[in-house]
Amino acid sequence: MTTRAFIAGCSGLALTPDEIAFYREASPWGFILFKRNIADPAQATALCEALREAVGWDAPILVDQEGGRVQRMGPPHWPKYPSGRTYGVLHANDPLVQREVTRLGARLMAHDLRAVGINVDCMPVLDVPTAGAHDVIGDRAYGRTPAQVAILGRAAAEGLLAGGVLPVIKHMPGHGRAGSDSHLALPIVDASREALERHDFAPFRMLTDMPIAMTAHVVYTALDPDHPATTSRIVMDDIVRGYLAYDGLVVTDDLSMKALSGTFSQKTEAAFAAGCDMALHCNGVMDEMIAVAGAAPALAGEALRRADAALQRIRHEPEPLDPVDARARLDAALAMVA
């Protein structure tokens, strides 16, 4: 079966006949869900089953479930999880406890996601904020130093993997220095390459064994003053595949974000021309999805190898977990910073 190298959203809590027909024809590699798509466990499970039925295989289903401000599944049906920063300030003088609690939180999130059929979580955030940066990252970051972000980011990623859910490290090669929100405008970062390597790129270089990475819609003038990372052949070749030596699946950030210009066909073509493996389109707007699908290639070659290698990482039974005991331990740890 041939799939196309894109990930699609959907419009609501259940698939429309037009969406089912589109997915069957376009055959996206995967899907992504948002709050508009999730009401309760039974509905979320039914939607995941319908998406996979539409494409005829156990396609990956993604969600942004970081905790804090970015949590698509929450109360009353799922517990609230802390932001990355909360883990970073917890037991500040005991990094071992920080790592253990961060892993535990991610392991519990994986339990929640896998129970409804979601098997990819777009976390951990490996961006390192700097003074004066836009707060679009802010408390989503695990700390303010590359080392802390890398250590706790790895703990979160390993917690997800232990629960049978793929992590997506983001936003490669670094969004923490951006002065604007790429959902709304194109951030321009003027830092030197030396500064970027020392600060922004460092956590990604320490987690190159992770299976999937999401790009940053950010221009780094020291690297490519004309294109954001998502559509920059220079950044993809010299930094992502070169300096970082990352050989996992590279997925674009959402192509509907305002940071990127051009039609959806043009944005999709530019991302693949730069060297991205997979296009991500999130809002479920049919005309836009059709354009992305039309410009996305069949998943083949190195991109297919990377996609298959990623899925292989979760073809196992999750490690044993008592969710009631684990949640009690997480809550006890978090009570210390409440």
Q: Of the residues 240, 258, 281, which one is the last residue of a structural domain?
A: 281
Residues 6 and 104 reside in one and the same domain: no
- Alpha helices by DSSP H, 117-192: 146-162
Kindly state the percentage of the chain with pLDDT values over 90.
91
53 and 117 belong to one structural domain? no
What contacts 16, CB < 8 A, 6 or more positions away? none
Q: 75-85: per-residue pLDDT in tens? A: 999 999 999 99
Beta strand extents in 180-338 (DSSP E only) = 188-189, 212-215, 219-220, 249-251, 279-280
Q: Which of 17, 7, 13, 91 is nearest to 54 (CA)?
A: 17
In a domain, residue 323? The reply is no
Confidence band for 338, pLDDT divided at 50, 70 and 90: low
Calculate the CA 151 to chain-centre distance: 18
Specify whether 90 is located in the same domain as 28: no
Whether residue 86 is found in the same domain as residue 158: yes
Helix (H) or strand (E) segment spanning residue 24 = helix 17-26
Residues 83, 15: one domain?
A: no
Q: Where are the alpha helices (DSSP H) in 117-230?
A: 146-162, 193-195, 202-205
The whole-angstrom separation of Cα 159 and Cα 86 is: 17
Which CATH number is 198's domain given?
3.20.20.300
91: confidence class by pLDDT, cuts 50, 70, 90: confident
- pLDDT tens, 240-259? 999 999 999 999 999 999 88
Indicate which residues carry an active-site annotation.
183, 253
- Quick one: which H or E segment has residue 252? none
The verdict on 92 and 55 lying in the same domain is no
Query: What is the Cα–Cα distance from 113 to 64, expressed in whole angstroms?
Result: 11
List CB contacts of 60: < 8 A, sequence separation 6 or more: 7, 29, 30, 31, 119, 120, 166, 311
Peptide bond into 41 cis (omega under 30): no
Quick one: pLDDT at residue 336?
77
pLDDT at 136 over 90: no
Q: Specify the pairing of strand 120-121 against strand 166-172.
A: parallel
- Helical (H) or strand (E) element with 106: helix 95-116
Can you give the pLDDT at residue 322? 97
31 and 90 share one domain: no
> Which of residues 281, 305, 321 is at a domain's end?
281
Query: HSE (CB half, 13 Å, CA atoms) of 249?
Result: 30
Question: Is 301 within a domain?
Answer: no
Residue 291 lies in a domain: no
Range of the domain at 117: 79-281
Average pLDDT, the chain: 96
Structural domain contains residue 298: no
Mean pLDDT confidence for 100-117 = 98
> What would the mean pLDDT of 105-134 be, rounded to a whole number?
96
Pair (87, 214) in one structural domain: yes
- The answer as to whether 12 is a domain residue is yes
Q: 173, 229 in Cβ contact below 8 A?
A: yes
* CB distance 32 to 212 below 8 Å: no
Q: Are residues 26 and 115 in the same domain?
A: no
Any domain includes 168 = yes
53 in the same domain as 83: no
Structural domain tally of the chain? 2
Q: From 29, 59, 89, give the residue that closes a domain.
A: 59
Residue 296 lies in a domain: no
pLDDT digits (tens, 9 = 90+) for 318-335: 999 999 999 999 999 988
* 7 and 90 assigned to the same domain: no
Is 300 among the domain residues? Answer: no
Q: Which two tokens stand for residue 327?
A: 């949640």
Q: CA–CA separation, 129 vs 134, rounded Å?
A: 9
Residue 173 · residue 235 · CB < 8 Å: yes
Per-residue tokens: 220: 């780094």
Question: Is 94's pLDDT higher than 90?
Answer: no
Same domain membership, residue 193 and residue 230: yes
